[in-house]
Amino acid sequence: MDFIMANAPALLIAVPMLGAFALPLVGRLGDTPRNGWILAVTLITAIIAALLAWTVLTGGPVLYTFGAASSSDAIPADSGGIPIRIIFTVDAMSAFMALFAAFVGFITCLYSVASERLSSGKDGYYALMLLLLVGILGMVTTGDLFNFFVFLEINSLAGAALVAYRIDKGVSVEAALKYGFLSTLAGLMVLYAIGLLYGQYDSLNMAVIASRMSYTMLDKVALALLIAGLALKAGAVPLHFWTPDAYSMAPAAVTAFLVVASQAGLYGLFRVLFSVYGLTLNYVTVGWAVIILGVLSMVVGVTMAIPQKDVKRLMAYHAVSQSGYMLLGVGVGLVVLGDAAAMDAFGRTAMEGGIFHIVNHAMYKGLLFLTAGAIFLQTGTRNLNKMGGLGHSMKWTMLFFIIGALAIAGIPPFNGFASKLMIYESVFAFSPVIAVIAMVVSILTLASFVKVFHAIFMGPQQPKYADVIEVPRPMLVAMGALALLTILMGIFPEQIVSTVIAPAANALIDQSAYVATVFGGV
């Protein structure tokens, strides 16, 4: 146990990576050993993430230096004060992101054991799922900008391949090409920005760059590139055009996991704004830019979702809309970053609401995509006009859909209400007009999902679906786990916020603590 605790950041990456490379060998033994392997690897990864989160939340940030005997060797005496090794800097925000990403990885693989049981190429599918997990976990734990780029590319390449997993007459391949091309464009913007920062500060470590940041014109250009690239990866409007195709054509479990992959892009954006640039940037102007991105994402996403007939495409646009709430909350916190009174009055709550909405969105949106996958598995269609009456034969799926739909609409006592209420109250103190827009978007979201629920589950059972039965148990267990968390996080939001969310928000706000983690050898 001591070994695991001491090396948890490295094991968080090593376990799924080794699991991915061993899958072709394990797959030769048959489906049952392969299924056991993928579930064991993802479960162990989730346990390591939980142990790491516990360590960080109870004992402070964890600095892990690869190739060194201890974290105190992060900056060797003869290096001129520059970290020369790969460093993982895990604070409360990183641990929070890693924890729920690893959990969703396990849930989506559990779902896939049943949903993909009749598919071919399962060795490649599960290997790519593990590599996608590696990319996400690496992005949220690394303290090095170039390694962030490397893990971003792993994330993007694995995601593109998974989108194309089902050929579907070439349509999914087209969606994967679009996802891959735009992800490459995002990666290039991030890489160019990293080059500009390295050229000025002779370091790739985020803490070192933050300690030397002078906010020159080149820094501003790098910041613009980073915001554009990471907003594209996160699917924020107006850089959202890959999300409908990629989310609708990927298998349901992949889509649920791609939501988390996109949120890793949001994490990168928030980390750069707060921990790398911090108070040196024009935080009011940049904060308003983030708020505008959030409002556009909310409004455009929900208005594009309402007329959709493809249930997964509809949910994809709602995913864009929900990302707007995260941008809005954190954007408000960024605007008042230098105003201690405003930060204490509503800025901190806005940030906590935005960060809380990240995990809430992963839970209920993942649940909704899994229910859509269950429906597609049993009916063979995603067209709302061709469905109806499925509530007679898929009662559990209907129940899980209701929970997810009420949560995304912000109806109590589900988790979406808890985080949205924090955002409403804090944003109202900042700008009542923007708060009203956010509330109207939630009303439109509810109306959209009422329409979807009626089209799929209500009415008499159609003769062509007379033989439809409920999906296999692993799929129900996966959906049930997300539904249970959606309810519990809505019933006990104060405990979640005080234990996990508030420390994550504080970790972003306190740039000096992030820098001290590296220079102090914490």
Instruction: Decide: 222 and 196 in contact? Cβ < 8 Å.
Output: yes
- C-alpha closest to that of 266 among 451, 140, 353: 140
β partners of residue 65: 87
What are the Cα distances from residue 422, in Å, to 27, 332, 350, 386, 472? 47, 12, 6, 39, 37
CA distance 185 to 472: 39
pLDDT at site 522: 40
pLDDT at site 78: 47
Q: pLDDT per position in the chain (522 positions), as tens? A: 667 777 889 999 999 999 999 999 998 998 899 999 999 999 999 999 999 999 999 988 988 888 665 555 555 544 545 556 788 999 999 999 999 999 999 999 999 999 888 888 889 999 999 999 999 999 999 999 999 999 999 999 999 999 998 876 678 888 899 999 999 999 999 999 999 999 998 888 898 899 889 889 999 999 999 999 999 999 888 888 888 889 988 899 999 999 999 999 999 999 999 999 988 888 899 999 999 999 999 999 999 999 899 899 999 999 999 999 999 999 999 999 988 899 999 999 999 999 999 999 999 999 999 999 999 988 888 888 888 888 888 999 999 999 999 999 999 999 999 999 999 999 999 999 999 999 999 999 999 999 999 999 987 877 787 788 889 999 999 999 999 999 999 999 999 999 999 999 999 998 888 988 887 744
What are the Cα distances from residue 275, in Å, to 93, 208, 423? 11, 11, 22
Instruction: Decide: 210 and 166 in contact? Cβ < 8 Å.
Output: no
Instruction: Decide: 55 and 62 in contact? Cβ < 8 Å.
Output: yes
CA distance 190 to 182: 12
CA distance 316 to 178: 15
Neighbours of 390 (CB within 10 A): 24
CA distance 189 to 198: 14
Instruction: Decide: 82 and 149 in contact? Cβ < 8 Å.
Output: no
Interior angle at CA 291, CA 290 and CA 293, nearest 5: 65
CA distance 378 to 456: 12
pLDDT at site 427: 95
Instruction: Decide: 426 and 434 in contact? Cβ < 8 Å.
Output: no
2-12 burial, b at 16+ Cβ within 10 Å, e below that, comes to eeeeeebbbbb
CA distance 218 to 258: 32
pLDDT at site 393: 87
pLDDT at site 83: 59
- For the record, the structure tokens of 31 come out as 């489906």
Phi-psi region at 439: left, alpha or beta (left = phi > 0; alpha = psi -120 to 50): alpha
Interior angle at CA 331, CA 325 and CA 197, nearest 5: 125
What are the Cα distances from residue 152, in Å, to 79, 155, 184, 327? 28, 5, 10, 20
- C-alpha closest to that of 144 among 15, 228, 268, 52: 268
Q: Where are the alpha helices (DSSP H) in 116-170?
A: 122-141, 145-163
The burial of 293, by beta-carbon neighbours within 10 Å (0-12 exposed, 13-18 middle, 19 or more buried), is given as buried
- C-alpha closest to that of 439 among 414, 404, 411, 415: 411
Instruction: Decide: 210 and 277 in contact? Cβ < 8 Å.
Output: yes
pLDDT at site 67: 67
What are the Cα distances from residue 12, in Å, to 59, 136, 260? 19, 11, 16
